């Protein structure tokens, strides 16, 4: 189990993960969400869009932020309260996405932290935003 308690979290602390987005993950996300937009599945259709090819669901990319929060920062016991997202560039099947969450503010009296969240593919920012998370306290 991985947990950082509110008293262990400081401004500047960051955690990250990397994941290659596969066709199987895109299919599994579509199954879970019900979003079968042909932009994610049909090469011919996607080629005619502004993206000139298939892309992953934006929220699939954003889910990597959830994985960082739920498994690393603060980890188990975290409660995800809110998230802003700006989608900056597409993620394509086979892309390696790096998700980084960095502590921007700590509010120990409310047990809340604010995280700057960025996902990149290579040097390209594909998603950015800010999350508010309720961090766990040490058991008494």
Tokens in use for 79? 């409660």
**Which domain CATH number covers 99?**
3.10.129.10
Q: Is there a domain that residue 29 lies in?
A: yes
pTM of the model: 0.94
| pLDDT tens, position by position, 48-104 | 999 999 999 999 999 999 999 999 999 999 999 999 999 999 999 999 999 999 999
Burial 40-71 (b: 16+ CB within 10 A, else e): beeeeebeeeeeeebbbbbebbbbbbbebbbb
Total structural domains within the chain:
1
Q: Is there a domain that residue 79 lies in?
A: yes
| pLDDT tens, position by position, 3-43 | 999 999 999 999 999 999 999 999 999 999 999 999 999 99
């Amino acid at each position: 189990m991985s947990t950082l308690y509110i008293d262990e979290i400081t401004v500047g602390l960051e955690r990250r993960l990397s994941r290659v987005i596969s066709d199987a993950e895109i299919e599994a996300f579509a199954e879970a969400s019900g979003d079968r937009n042909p932009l994610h599945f049909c090469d011919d259709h996607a080629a005619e869009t502004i993206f000139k090819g298939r892309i992953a669901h934006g929220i699939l990319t954003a889910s990597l932020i959830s994985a960082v929060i739920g498994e690393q920062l603060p980890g188990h016991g975290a409660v995800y309260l809110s998230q802003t997202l700006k989608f900056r560039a597409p993620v394509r099947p086979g892309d390696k996405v790096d998700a980084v969450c960095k502590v921007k503010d700590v509010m120990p009296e409310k047990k809340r932290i604010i995280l700057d969240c960025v996902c990149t593919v290579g040097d390209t920012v594909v998603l950015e935003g800010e999350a508010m998370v309720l961090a766990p306290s040490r058991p008494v």
